[in-house]
Structures are given as C-alpha cells and as structure tokens.
Amino acid sequence: MGGERQQPDMGEDSGDAPSKGRRKLLMVPAGLAAAAAGIAVATNGSDDGAAGQSDTAQPGSNPATASGSDLPDSNLPRTAQAGPETQNDSVRFLTQATFGPSLNAIAQLEEAGSYDQWISQQFDLAPSLTEPYVVDSDNSSLSTTRHYIWWENAIRGEDQLRQRLAFAWSQIFVVSDRDYTLSNAQYAMCNFYDMLATESTGNFRTMLERVTLHPVMGVYLSMVRNQRADPSRNIRPDENFAREVLQLFTIGLHELTPDGLVVTQDGEAVPAYDQRTVEEFAKVFTGWNYADVRFWDDTNFNDKRMPMTAWEEYHETAAKSLLLGEDLAAGGTAEQDLALALDNIFSHPNVGPFLARLLIQRLVTSNPTPGYVGRVGAVFNNDGTGTRGNLAAVTRAILTDPEARQGHQALPEQFGKIKEPIMRLTQLWRAFDAKPGPEATEDRYQPYARPVDQIEDVVGQAPMRSESVFNFFLPDHPLAPGSELVAPELAILAEIDVASTNNMLFAQIQEHHTRSDERLNISKIDIENEIALAGDPAALVTHLEALLLTAALPSDVRQAIIEHISAIPLAVDGNDGDPDSDGQDEGWGPLTRATDAIYAVVGSPFHLVQL
C-alpha cells in the first residue's frame, strides 16, 4: 500500500535555524498538544499514514463509540446564531465552509448579513472546474497541471463552499491516481472531481449514479468490464465496487438509528448486510464498459470521461436479492437492474446518518453528537419539501446547526477537529492573500521545498492521492489509544509530517513575502498589514489571533509571543537585514516582528486545531 515517506530535503534554510541576521524565534511547543482543545499526540505508529490499512479493516464499525455519543448536547442552544456577531464568528464559519478565511471573505460574509444568505450566494456561483485547464495545458498522462489548477481554485476560486465540498466528497467517493491506469488518465481524474463539485449541491441519488458509471470509479474499483458468471472459464462477478458502495459510500457495516448510533441485539451490533448481499450486488454491477469501445476487450478506445455503457451479453440476468428484503426479478437489463439497485441503496435508512457523520467530520467536528447527526440526517431524508437526498439542504443544515455555530462553547471537551495538512497551507495563503511569484511559470502557486504536485512529500496528503479506497485516514481513528473520541487526521500526522510541514510554513513566512526578492518563482504572502502593526505587539498578536485561529491563544502563550515581539528593536544596526553590519536598516525591525509573530501563531499547536 505504498512505502514509507522520506523526510524532504528542505535546503540550507529550512527553518531549523535562523538565517543570517534573523533573531531566533520563540517557539511555541511544536507537535499536536493543543491545551485549549484537550488534544494530545496520538499516532498510528507508522510514518506512512494510511499505508498499512487493508481490505479487512472495518472503518466506521462503531460510530456510537467513535463519535463520543455519551457526551450530551443538552448544553446547546435550540437555535443557532443567524449570522456572525464578531470577527471570530466569521473566521470560525469560514474555516468550516472554505479553504480558509481571508479579509475579503470575512467582509463578504459580514455584508451578506447571515450564514444562510452567504450559503445561498455561494450556491449561485458557477463551479470552478479543473478539466478545461488541464486539457488545454498538457497531455492526459501528466498530473502536474491537475494539481496546479486544484490549488488555484482552492486559493482564488470564488465558489469556495463548492470547492470545499468537492474536496470533502472526494474523501468519501475515493479514487486515487496512485493507480497506474488513472495516473495516465488525468483528464478523466479532473472530470470525476468536477462532477463531484457540480453534484455537491444536487441530489445524492444523481451523484451516486454518476459516480457508479464514471469510468474512473470503474477502473479504481474494477467495475468496468465486470462480467456475469461463467464457471467454465472460472469467471464470477467482481465484488469490489459492490462491497465499497455499501461499506464506505452509503450505509456502513451496521444498522444505524436515525441519529447514527449502532443498533445492537443481545449486545452485538446488527449487520447492515452480509457477504451474500455483496455477491448479489456484484451481479447487478455486471455488463458495463467504456462508452467508446468497439468490442468488449478493446484497448484502443477507452474514453474514461464518458459514462460507461451497458453490454447486455455480459450482464447477469438472474434474480437478485438486495437490501431491505427487496428482490430484483430475473430477466432485467443492466440499466434496469442498476437503476433499481441504486434506488434500493438510496432508500436505506442508514444513508442519511451515515453521510451526515462523514460530512460533518470533514467540515466541522470529528465527534458530532447524535443530535447533530440526527438533525442533518433528517434533512437528508426530507428537505422540507418531501425531497430525499437534497445535498444543498444537507450542507446548509451542517453549517448552520447550533452545534456547528456554538459547539465550541457548549461542548468544549469534544468539539473541534485536527486540520488536514493541506488546510494549513491553504489557510495561510488565503489569510495573507498569497500570489504566485513574479517569475512563477504560468502564474502558478508554488510553496517552498516542493511544487504543489509533490506536496504530499512534505505534508503527507494531496488531492485524490490517498493510499487506498479507505481515504487518507479512517473516520474512527482514535484520539488516543482507548479513547472514545476520534481524530481521523492524526492518522497521517506523524512527527516527520508535522516537522516538514512546519519547516515549509516557516520558510514561506520568513522568506517568501511582499518584502522578499528571494526565489521569485515561490508564491508570496502579503504581510504589509502586519508590518504596519509592528509598533504595537499586542495589537499585532490580537490581529493574528482573529485572522488565523478559531479560538484565542491561552493567555500565557499570548503574553510570551508579545514579549518576544517586543524584544525585537524596531530600528537596528545593519544593512539588508543584517544587524551585524554597519549602518542603519529601518525596515528590519518591523519586518522581523511581523514574520516572527505570524510564525509563532502558525507554527504553534493551536493552529493545528479547528474549533
């Protein structure tokens, strides 16, 4: 499932030591200990994150325990805030709904006046797509441009909510171009991702069918060219997609209550299905091939963007037993059987709470209460107009629920989540209005240490690059051994990843900003506002807390940063930022105060936590 990641070569100025003329930073303790959230270091004992997961794993097997269901939500207000009352309210909301708050995004939210109105405005925006750019830029075998446009959309896309949803859905309907065939099908990978972005505000039944018939999923989970049984040739229907569409994509392993708790009988979890069910659904998913092939095994014409089409002679026409005691009569066509089988899955009562928990985990909090899961699941079941599966309504319910808006105050022992590694960089770039470097190729974003198409070597994660269909991490990865709380993202935050990510962020903040002329191909953050505040260390730290964090720093940490910043003289002897040279450099002090303050916040464990 992939080898161990090697620590990236960060170059001579990697952040391990200050460069010439730079004062050594006060270091808020590194690692994952976030006292404000009660989160402690917990790793899976492997430096390669999700590698080592196997097809025998049972993710989501005990959501009742994994979600901390014994913690009540009775402290929550019955209704959520309609809109932001403080900048912290805006920052918290935008951290959940976008790839990171920015001053412009905060202003737009405040101008909208309510969360509901902002969400409606976002839904009205056209999707920022990836496929057109990649088709125009490269051949289908090169993955670099897919990553370039993904980062462009994540940082500068106006449709921030849709982009964040597409990334969330890509971690539910998982495909990965670590697969050799898909690595050479980048147009198709983009097409699949754009489909998720487009359908993220549509109906789940439509999304489910488009995912099922997309050749990218057909390749990844071997449904393409899946054939009916032929014992004489030792052929039986492939069970891969049938198993994962049930276990990972829609209903999970066990029967669930409407609020996502596992149903038990005699102390044992009640299975949602069994192996025979998988075998029956495998029969359903036979007889599908690429849309442009001339014959079944044609290898010259394999368009992986057009929906797969049915080849009836390869479809299993026997009767089939599905979920909920429903059967398909013998003699159905491939299209008829697939439509009825997807209807059967879609109607299962597990789907609402199962998807509610997964989406809440990706956007808001790792340990939602049963009440939160139940409220969102109820909207999935009925959006108020009698429609089931309305994903726009589900998204609105997730982001405007009282637990999303006030859970950090009402449920401080369980609310919040570890940030995904990618999010730490997107949030930094958006917070400081990062622009591609003046000499960047085709105006593309690039961080220090690695280009964006190799970012997983630094942070341990990249879009649609997970090690397996189980995503980068399991939804029930424990916060600590034996804990009832979960922290999925900790599964890929080994020490090497935290260190290399912080080194990258250190270099970005200290070396690649609007006052820097180093490596002009690297993206530059705008720190002019922070330099302007350098004369007032307390005001500078307050500004950074409000922009970068979802909760205030502990008072002792805040004071330590202020004291460190105050100790940096605004005017020092030196030229070009070197205090050991003769002369006077009036710009070095304010610049160093600004960059040191930014990194003291961004490099701290408190920036790792979303509350």
Per-residue model confidence as pLDDT tens digits over 505-520: 999 999 999 999 888 9
The CA distance from 210 to 231, in Å, is 31
Q: Is residue 68 predicted with pLDDT exceeding 50?
A: no
The CA distance from 126 to 159, in Å, is 7
Q: Is residue 188 predicted with pLDDT exceeding 60?
A: yes
Per-residue model confidence as pLDDT tens digits over 93-123: 999 999 999 999 999 999 999 999 999 999 9
Give the residue from 345, 234, 233, 326 showing the smallest Cα distance to 285: 345
- What is the DSSP annotation of 488-542? GGGGG--HHHHHHHHHHHHHHHHHSBTT--SSTTS-BB--HHHHHTTT-HHHHHH
The CA distance from 474 to 62, in Å, is 12
> What average pLDDT does this structure show over 380-394?
98
Give the residue from 175, 314, 163 showing the smallest Cα distance to 244: 175
Give this prediction's pTM. Answer: 0.88
| Placement of tokens 């994660």 in the chain | 461
pLDDT in the model for residue 74: 63
pLDDT in the model for residue 586: 60
Per-residue model confidence as pLDDT tens digits over 584-603: 456 799 999 999 999 999 99
**Within a 13 Å sphere around the CA of 154, how many CA atoms are in the beta-carbon half?**
27
β-partners of residue 271 are 254
Higher pLDDT, 536 or 141: 536
Q: Are strands 609-610 and 320-321 parallel, antiparallel or unpaired?
A: unpaired
324, two tokens: 């909920």
Length of the chain: 611
> What average pLDDT does this structure show over 164-193?
97
Give the residue from 87, 71, 76 showing the smallest Cα distance to 413: 71
The CA distance from 501 to 611, in Å, is 21
Give the residue from 177, 189, 150, 169 showing the smallest Cα distance to 304: 189
Give the residue from 182, 178, 213 showing the smallest Cα distance to 199: 213
Identify the band that residue 448 occupies on the pLDDT scale cut at 50, 70 and 90: confident
Secondary structure (3-state) at 309 = strand
- 450 Cβ contact list (under 8 Å, min separation 6): 8, 457, 458, 504
Secondary structure element (H or E) that encloses residue 584, with its range: strand 584-585
The CA distance from 456 to 414, in Å, is 29
> What average pLDDT does this structure show over 133-141?
90
Secondary structure (3-state) at 14 = coil
CB 445 within 8 A of CB 147: no
Give the CA distances from residue 65 to residues 73, 273, 329, 372, 411, in Å, rounded to whole numbers and listed in that order: 15, 20, 39, 15, 17
**Within a 13 Å sphere around the CA of 229, how many CA atoms are in the beta-carbon half?**
10
> What average pLDDT does this structure show over 366-384?
98
Q: Is residue 1 predicted with pLDDT exceeding 70?
A: no
> What average pLDDT does this structure show over 362-382?
98
Per-residue model confidence as pLDDT tens digits over 2-49: 333 233 232 333 333 333 333 333 333 333 333 333 333 333 333 333
Per-residue model confidence as pLDDT tens digits over 328-343: 999 999 999 999 999 9
The CA distance from 505 to 448, in Å, is 8
Identify the band that residue 425 occupies on the pLDDT scale cut at 50, 70 and 90: very high
φ/ψ of residue 10, rounded to 5: -90, 0
pLDDT in the model for residue 141: 87
Three-state helix/strand/coil letters over 399-450: HHCHHHHHHHHHCCCCCCEECCHHHHHHHHHHHCCCECCCCCHHHCCCCCCC
CB 256 within 8 A of CB 265: no
Secondary structure (3-state) at 110 = helix
Q: Is the dihedral of CA 346, 352, 357, 360 positive or negative?
A: positive
The CA distance from 156 to 144, in Å, is 18
Give the residue from 572, 469, 590, 513 showing the smallest Cα distance to 211: 469
Per-residue model confidence as pLDDT tens digits over 524-535: 999 999 999 999
109, two tokens: 């939210």
The CA distance from 587 to 568, in Å, is 12
* Angle at the Cα of 115 from the Cα atoms of 110 and 119, rounded to 5 degrees: 110
**Within a 13 Å sphere around the CA of 182, how many CA atoms are in the beta-carbon half?**
24
Question: Residue ranges per domain, the chain?
Answer: 219-346
Higher pLDDT, 11 or 162: 162
The CA distance from 42 to 33, in Å, is 9
Secondary structure element (H or E) that encloses residue 310, with its range: strand 309-310
Give the residue from 178, 164, 318, 130 showing the smallest Cα distance to 236: 318
Instruction: Specify the amino acid at residue 396.
Output: R
The CA distance from 392 to 162, in Å, is 10
Q: What percent of the chain has pLDDT over 90?
A: 80
Alpha helices (runs of H) in 221-348, residue ranges in sequence order: 240-247, 275-284, 334-346
- 107 Cβ contact list (under 8 Å, min separation 6): none
The CA distance from 306 to 304, in Å, is 6
Q: Is residue 573 predicted with pLDDT exceeding 90?
A: no
The CA distance from 599 to 391, in Å, is 38
> What average pLDDT does this structure show over 399-425?
96
